[in-house]
Structure 1
C-alpha cells in the first residue's frame, strides 16, 4: 500500500466533476493510502503525473466555500506530512473585460498583482462611498517553485502554443464514458450577455429561450483565429468568497477596479493554510445565466494545465521546498503580523479622530521639572499604599496655590506608568486641567481623552468604537457625549482595573458642570470594572464635598524635598556664601523653617502662574 510520506504534491478539488477530471489525467493510479490521520474525513486518490507522486482530495459532497476548503487542506497536511506544493484546480466564473477576452473553457491562473498574492477575498473588505473597493484581507502567494514553473510554461505557450485539447482528447479516448459530459460543448452555446440582462430567477428554461439571442442583448465578440490559443490561458487576480457570484454588475465593477479575472468559492480558505497555485477553468460568466453545460470541459482544461505545470517542475525542486505543514506556522505568524500592523494603524487613526488632545507632552514637561528624588513622601505614605492596594478607592490631595500639586501629580503618574507598563489588565489615564486651556477641556473633550488613553493600550479597539467611527465618518458628524460615555464604558470592560489621575480639578471649567460631570462619569465606570481615582485641587468647598469620605492627604511642605532642592541649587549662590559651610547650613535651615506648613516645596512650580 502507498506510503503517505512519498507524496509531495497536494491537489485539491471542490466538486466531484473536478475530482474526476483530475483522476483522468494521472499517468498512473496508485492504491489507497496505508493510513491517514485519525480525524481525517477526506477521500483521496493517489497517483503519478510525470515524475511526481500526487495526492488528490475533494471537498465533501454538497459542501462549498472557504471553511470547507480549509478543512480539507488541514486534514491532507495531517495525513500527508511531506506535501510541499499545493494546487487548487477546478472551475470558476470568468470576468471578461475590454482588456481580457475571457471565454468559456479558458483557464485563469492565479498570479501576484499589485501587492496581492494572486487571490483576494472580496467579502473580506470594505466599500466607501464614492471610492473604489478596498481589500482588507492578506492572503499568501503560491510557493516560488510554482510561480517559476508558471512563468516558464507561459513563455513556452506563447512561443509554441499549448496542446491542452490534445491532452483532453487523449484522456477521454481512454475513458469513453466521460466523453459526453467532459468534451467541449458547441461554441454557439458560449453567450456573454450584457450586464443589464438578468435571467429570471423563477425560470427553468435555457438562456437562449428565456433571454434570447438578439444582438442587442449579447456582448459582440469576434471569432478566435486559428493561430490563437483556444482555450486561452489568462494570468492574474482571482476573487474568492463564501458566496456564489451571480451579479454581472458587481463582476464588472471588481474587474474594472481590481483587475479580477475569475470568481470562485474556495481559494481564500487555502492560501494562508495551504499556499498553492489556483487554476480555474471558466464554466460561466459569474452572472445570472449560470448553467452546468461547460463545467465538465472547464474542469478538464484546468486539470490539463495543472498537468503541464507539474511536468515542467523537476522533482528535486519540489523536494527542496519546505514542507507546507512546517512553513504554515511561520506563514500564519507573518500574516497575523501584517494584519495586526494594519489594524493598529487604523486604530490609531480612529483614536486621533476621537480627539487630537494628548496629555503626554504636558506630563513629560511637568515630570522633568521635578527635583529628582522629591515626592517620595507621598509614594511611601500609608494613604497612597492603601489606595494602590485596594480596589475602587479615591485619594484626594488638596493644597494651596503653587504648593506643587501638579509636579506631585506627574510623580504619581510616572509611578503608575512604571507599575502598569507590563500589566495588560490595568488601564491608566490622566488629565492635567488648566484654566488657560478651558476651550479644549469641555466635558466631551475630557471623556474623549479618557477613551483615547485607555484604548491605546489595548491590542484592538472595542467594536463599539469602530462602529461609532464608521457611522460618524459616513455621516460627517461628531460623536455626542452619550456616544463617548458609552465608548468609555466599552473600553473599561476590557480591563480588570482602571486608574485615573486628574490634576488641578479647580481649573476645570465650571460653565457646563464639567468638573462634577467628569467625576460622576469616572465613578460610574465602577459598574463595569474597578476604578481608582487620584485627584488634586486647591481648597474649594464644592470640590472637597465631592471627595467626602475618600482617602485624603494634603500637599504640604516636606523637609526632605526642601533639602534635596536646596542642596542641588546652592551651587548657584555667590562664591562668598558657598565657601562658608556654616553660612550655607544656616541658609538651608532658615528656608526650611520659614516654609513649614505653607505647602509642598517646589520652587520651579511656583514660577508657573498656571499652577
Structure 2
C-alpha cells in the first residue's frame, strides 16, 4: 500500500478539486504568494536581542496584539496536557533523529504517523521539554480543523500566532512588528500574508536559536502555502512538524516514522495500564 504523501495529495487537489475531500484540511485553496521586503533593520548579535525589543506604552502593545487577531494554540496545548498519560512520548528525547535536531541551529524534523499514533501527545511532550529550558524560545502551533473559527487551519492564523509569540514580550514589541502595524494604517487595515511572513522572517533572525513545534500539518487547509513560508523560516529556526503524510517533495533534515517504531506500542501499553489502575481505584471506591 502506497503511503500518503504531501506532494501526491497536492497534485490530486490541483487536478481534481474533489480529490482528498474525505481528508479534511488538505491544501484547500493553496496558492502562490510573493514576498515583500519591508526593509526592517535586524540585529545580528545574539547579545542585542533584548535591545531589539522597544518598550511602547501599554495602549500601543494592547492595540498591536488586538490587531493581530492571533489564534490561541495554548487551548490545544492545555487540552493535550490534561489528556496525556504521564511518561508517554518521552522516548523521543533519546531518538537519534530528535537529538540531531535538538542540537542543531536550524532545519526541519518531520514526524509522520497514522491516525491514532499519538502525534499530538508527542508534540505536547516535546513542547513541555523545550519550554523547561529558559536558554531559548520555544513557540508552537496546533492546526485544528475542529476549531469553529477555522483560523487554526490556514497560513494566516499560523503567521499571526507566531508573530504574537516571537515579537511581543510583556510590554515590549519588536520594531519590525511595530513597523508592520504602522504600515497597516496603525491597525486600521489587516496585514497581508506577505507582510506577516516577511516580518516573521526578520524577527526570527534576531531570536536564533528558536524551536518551533507544529502539530497536525494534515489538518491545515493551506499546507502547501505553509510549507513555502517554512522554507524561508527554516534557515533561522529548528522546526518540528507532525503529520499523517510523508514529506515527499519537501526538503527536511531529519525524519521519524512513528509507524515503523516500537515506541508507539509502548505508549499504548502505558496508557492502557493507567486506565486499568484507574478502574481498579474507582471500583474500590464504589465498594
Selected match of 2:206 from 488, 494, 509: 494
- TM-score, normalising length: structure 1: 0.34
Which residue of the partner structure matches residue 517 of structure 1?
Answer: 225
CA distance in 2, matches of 1:368, 1:436: 18
Change in 2 beyond 3 A, CA 1:417/1:572: closer
Q: Is the 8 A contact 1:428 1:454 kept in 2?
A: no
Q: What is the RMSD of the two structures over their aligned residues, measured on CA atoms?
A: 2.8
CA distance in 2, matches of 1:356, 1:522: 18
Matched, 1:469 2:175: no
Structure 1 segment 451-470 matched on structure 2, within 5 A = 451-457=163-169, 460-470=172-182
- TM-score, normalising length: structure 2: 0.69
Structure 2: where are the runs of 5+ without partners? 1-53
Secondary structure class of the residue paired with 1:447: helix
Change in 2 beyond 3 A, CA 1:474/1:450: closer
Structure 1 segment 544-583 matched on structure 2, within 5 A = 544-556=247-259, 558=263, 559-573=265-279
Q: Is the 8 A contact 1:502 1:534 kept in 2?
A: yes
CA distance in 1, matches of 2:278, 2:216: 31
Report Cα offsets for 1:101-153 as digits up to 9, x if no partner. Answer: xxxxxxxxxxxxxxxxxxxxxxxxxxxxxxxxxxxxxxxxxxxxxxxxxxxxx
Which residue of the partner structure matches residue 412 of structure 1?
Answer: 126
Selected match of 2:146 from 424, 436, 439: 436
Report Cα offsets for 1:487-523 as digits up to 9, x if no partner. Answer: 21231122122222111111100xxxx2122122122
Selected match of 1:355 from 66, 69, 77: 69
CA distance in 1, matches of 2:75, 2:249: 29
Quote how far apart the aligned CAs of 1:370 are. Answer: 0.6
Q: Is the 8 A contact 1:397 1:552 kept in 2?
A: yes
Which residue of the partner structure matches residue 100 of structure 2?
Answer: 386
Higher helix fraction (1 or 2): 2
Quote how far apart the aligned CAs of 1:347 are. Answer: 2.2
Which residue of the partner structure matches residue 533 of structure 1?
Answer: 239
Quote how far apart the aligned CAs of 1:553 are. Answer: 1.2
Quote how far apart the aligned CAs of 1:344 are. Answer: 5.4
CA distance in 2, matches of 1:521, 1:374: 31
Q: Which has the larger radius of gyration?
A: 1
Secondary structure class of the residue paired with 1:431: strand
Secondary structure class of the residue paired with 1:517: helix
Report Cα offsets for 1:45-101 as digits up to 9, x if no partner. Answer: xxxxxxxxxxxxxxxxxxxxxxxxxxxxxxxxxxxxxxxxxxxxxxxxxxxxxxxxx
Quote how far apart the aligned CAs of 1:348 are. Answer: 4.2
Q: Is the 8 A contact 1:393 1:532 kept in 2?
A: yes
Secondary structure class of the residue paired with 1:364: helix
Q: Is the 8 A contact 1:500 1:531 kept in 2?
A: yes
Secondary structure class of the residue paired with 1:552: strand
Structure 1: where are the runs of 5+ without partners? 1-338, 579-611
